[in-house]
Amino acid sequence: SVKYELTGAEFLVGIPGTLGGALAMNAGAFGGEIWDVIHSVTTINRQGIERVRSREEFNVGYRSVELEKDEWFLTASLNLQSDTSQNSKAILKDLLGRRSDSQPIGEASCGSVFKNPDTGAPAAKLIDKCGLKGLAIGGAVVSEKHANFILNSGNASAEDIEKLICKVQQVVKEQFDVMLIPEVRMIGTSLHEGSIGDE
């Protein structure tokens, strides 16, 4: 957006993934969420039928969007403003600096793993208080820099990551009676028995 002198979505800088993924889970940071700036989206279903839909047609929540089964996002039209003042570049620089100070930027991860619970303490703080930074299963490891990030140390399998997510959920539940819900989406068949999703 900066290249085209547009502003309004700077809060998304540094979030890994695709636009479709960001729409599907209402990605956000620094007080903003992608659906805050959506005008309309185009979706497609398994039969290949495309629909243009307005933002108002979706029930949007914290890291969630109600989407019909077997329907995916193709495109999005965003409500952004013109900014020729270079303010957007300064905002991006500030946000990237804040991210790199507190998050494992540049390391292989899927971004923030768990939604922050409604109980007050952020997921990262609960995980950290459980002493789980550095916990590893196979090639998956809880980041030392930010406890709500799981890193691929180079050879992590999907099973390693899924098992580590379940282990973190189990320990936090035992110590704080809080069930952490992943904000990452698992695609395919579950490889591990135990808690993961938002059932």
Q: How far apart are CA 159 and CA 132, in angstroms?
A: 18
121 with 63, same domain: the answer is no
Backbone phi, then psi, for 76, in 5-degree steps?
-145, 145
169 with 122, same domain: the answer is yes
* pLDDT value of residue 199: 42
Residue 97 lies in a domain: no
| Residue numbers in the chain where pLDDT is lower than 50 | 198-199
DSSP label at 67? Answer: -
115 with 199, same domain: the answer is yes
DSSP label at 183? Answer: S
* pLDDT value of residue 120: 83
Active-site residues, by number, are 63, 112, 183
Residue 33 lies in a domain: yes
Query: Torsion over CA of 80, 85, 88 and 91, rounded to 10 degrees?
Result: -140
Residue 103 lies in a domain: no
Residue 64 lies in a domain: yes
pTM for the model: 0.69
Residue 95 lies in a domain: no
115 with 40, same domain: the answer is no
* pLDDT value of residue 63: 86
Q: How many domains does the chain have?
A: 2
Residue 199 lies in a domain: yes
16 with 74, same domain: the answer is yes
59 with 145, same domain: the answer is no
Q: How far apart are CA 71 and CA 50, in angstroms?
A: 9
* pLDDT value of residue 196: 59
Q: How far apart are CA 54 and CA 77, in angstroms?
A: 9
Structure tokens belonging to residue 83: 């900014």
- Can you give the residue range of the structural domain that contains 178? 108-199
CATH at 162: 3.90.78.10
Among the listed residues 173, 94, 101, 97, the one whose alpha carbon sits nearest the alpha carbon of residue 132: 173
13 with 81, same domain: the answer is yes
Backbone phi, then psi, for 20, in 5-degree steps?
-60, -40
